[in-house]
Every structure is written in structure tokens, then in C-alpha cells.
């Protein structure tokens, strides 16, 4: 199978939310000599980029497609990375969790799936995470970014959410070393909300979050 055919077949399977087909396509490619590096960087990552493009063009991309794309990306990456000829360079690290008082986790699961393919390490803190823990864990892990998910307005805007995390970073003199990205339904409804809660950026959905997080990591490392 030529690389161009592989990309087309994989993208079709991902957009059809057909996990089994996507994995069959990948296995066939491996059997035909496509390298693990090519599969991750020339097939899986571009598929995520294609999903981002589709979202930006307001095509009919739904939550099931978001979730399946991230899960397939994570599964394929987990299988391929140990086969790389040289260990890939990790570009950065994020601690991610759901704000205190919020128990929703689906958006966060989509994000973490995509981060693997982008060679971004993550530490998943789970749900209902206190602001102090976000900062403590980021410092301990030498993370460049804190990711805070909130699906309810009161947890997005609350005093124990992003606002408190920003305050702690400032008190510790860490605001230039650790960036904050937020996401979730309240930020989609109000695109300026991330500024109100003093985050550095926001991501409209789990797929685009990987790109935004990568950009924040590069900003810290400049």
C-alpha cells in the first residue's frame, strides 16, 4: 500500500468512526513495510490535522468522531513508538484535569488521546481537582502547561478554578514558566471567557487542544 493510499484509507476509517477498520489499515501498512515513524507522523498526526481543518470549516464533525480520532491516535501511537529506531523527543509536558466541583471527563479524554501522537507527555489528575494540586503537580513534573477542563459555567468561572490557579502561579512567580489552557462548553459559548478567568489560551474542542497546547509549550521554551 502506497503512503498516499494509506492516508486516504486511514482518514476514511477515522471519519467513519470505524476503529477496527482503522487498525486493520495500520496493520496492513506495517505488513507492507511502512515504518512506525511514518505511521505516526505521516498518517496519524495529519489525520488529526484534517479533523481540525474540518472543524474550522464548519463541516459536520461530531463528538463521536472527535473521540474516536483521539482514541485511535492514542492506540496506534502506543503501539508504534516502542518500534521507533530512535526514541522520539518529547516536546513538552502538561498536567490536565477537571476543575474543582466538576466531574465531567469526556473532553479531557479526547485531549489526552491526541497528545500522545504529538509527543506531548501528560499527567491526568482526574476530576474535581483543587487549584493547589494543579500547580503542585505541574511544578513536580516540570510541566510547561496546566490544562483545566470545565463543563459548567460556575466551575469555569468559580474562585476555585482557573482564577485561583492563576493567583497561585503569580504568588509563586511561575506565570512565565507555566501556561494555562482551558476548555469545555462554557468557553465555546463565550469565546472571551478564557480571558475573564485569566487563562493564556482556550481550545474549542479536544482535537484542537493538542495544537494549542503544543504552541503554549513552544512559547514557554523560547
Burial 98-137 (b: 16+ CB within 10 A, else e): bbbbbebbebbebbbbbbbbbbbebbbbebbbbbebbbeb
Would you state the pLDDT for residue 3? 80
- The C-alpha atoms of residue 143 and residue 81 are separated, in whole angstroms, by 21
Burial (0-12, 13-18, 19+ Cβ within 10 Å), 20: exposed
User: Please, which residues have CB within 8 angstroms of residue 156's CB and are 6 or more apart in sequence?
Assistant: 99, 150, 162, 182, 184, 186, 187, 193, 197
- The C-alpha atoms of residue 170 and residue 148 are separated, in whole angstroms, by 17
C-alpha cell of residue 142: 516540570
CA geometry: angle at 81 spanning 210 and 3, to 5°?
Answer: 80
- Nearest one of 163, 95, 170 to 134, comparing CA atoms: 95
Instruction: Specify the CATH number for the domain of residue 101.
Output: 3.40.50.280
What stretch of H or E contains 147? strand 145-149
- The C-alpha atoms of residue 206 and residue 201 are separated, in whole angstroms, by 14
Would you state the pLDDT for residue 70? 87
For residue 217, pLDDT beyond 80: yes
Write the pLDDT tens digit of every residue in 184-214: 989 989 999 999 999 999 998 777 888 899 9
Would you state the pLDDT for residue 116? 87
| Residue 137 and residue 201 in one domain | yes
Q: Which of 83, 117, 147 is the last residue of a domain?
A: 83
Percent of the chain with pLDDT over 90: 64
Helices marked H in 32-62 — which ranges?
A: 36-38, 45-56
| Residue 19 and residue 71 in one domain | yes
For residue 145, pLDDT beyond 80: yes
Q: Which of 50, 83, 116 is the last residue of a domain?
A: 83
- The pTM of the full predicted model, rounded to 2 decimals, is 0.82
| Residue 59 and residue 108 in one domain | no
What range does the domain containing 147 cover? 92-221
- The C-alpha atoms of residue 131 and residue 164 are separated, in whole angstroms, by 6
Q: Which of 64, 83, 102 is the last residue of a domain?
A: 83
- The C-alpha atoms of residue 45 and residue 118 are separated, in whole angstroms, by 7
- Asked if residues 73 and 47 have their Cβ atoms less than 8 Å apart, the reply is yes
For residue 83, pLDDT beyond 70: yes
Q: How many domains does the chain have?
A: 2
Residue 167: other Cβ atoms inside 10 A: 14
Amino acid at each position: 500500500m502506497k503512503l498516499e493510499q494509506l492516508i486516504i484509507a486511514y482518514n476514511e476509517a477515522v471519519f467513519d468512526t470505524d476503529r477496527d477498520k482503522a487498525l486493520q489499515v495500520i496493520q496492513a501498512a506495517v505488513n507492507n513495510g511502512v515504518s512506525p515513524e511514518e505511521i505516526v507522523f505521516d498518517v496519524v498526526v495529519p489525520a488529526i490535522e484534517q479533523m481540525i481543518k474540518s472543524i474550522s470549516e464548519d463541516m459536520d464533525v461530531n463528538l463521536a468522531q472527535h473521540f474516536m480520532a483521539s482514541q485511535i491516535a492514542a492506540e496506534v501511537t502506543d503501539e508504534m513508538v516502542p518500534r521507533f529506531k530512535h526514541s522520539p523527543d518529547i516536546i513538552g509536558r502538561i498536567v490536565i484535569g477537571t476543575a474543582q466541583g466538576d466531574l465531567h471527563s469526556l473532553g479531557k479524554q479526547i485531549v489526552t488521546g491526541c497528545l500522545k501522537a504529538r509527543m506531548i507527555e501528560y499527567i491526568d489528575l482526574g476530576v474535581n481537582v483543587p487549584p493547589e494540586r494543579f500547580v503542585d503537580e505541574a511544578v513536580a513534573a516540570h510541566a510547561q502547561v496546566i490544562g483545566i477542563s470545565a463543563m459548567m459555567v460556575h466551575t469555569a468561572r468559580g474562585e476555585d478554578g482557573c482564577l485561583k490557579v492563576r493567583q497561585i502561579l503569580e504568588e509563586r512567580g511561575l506565570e512565565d514558566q507555566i501556561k494555562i489552557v482551558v476548555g469545555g462548553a462554557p468557553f465555546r459559548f463565550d469565546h472571551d471567557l478564557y480571558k475573564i478567568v485569566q487563562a493564556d489560551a482556550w481550545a474549542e474542542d479536544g482535537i484542537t487542544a493538542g495544537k494549542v497546547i503544543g504552541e503554549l509549550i513552544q512559547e514557554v521554551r523560547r
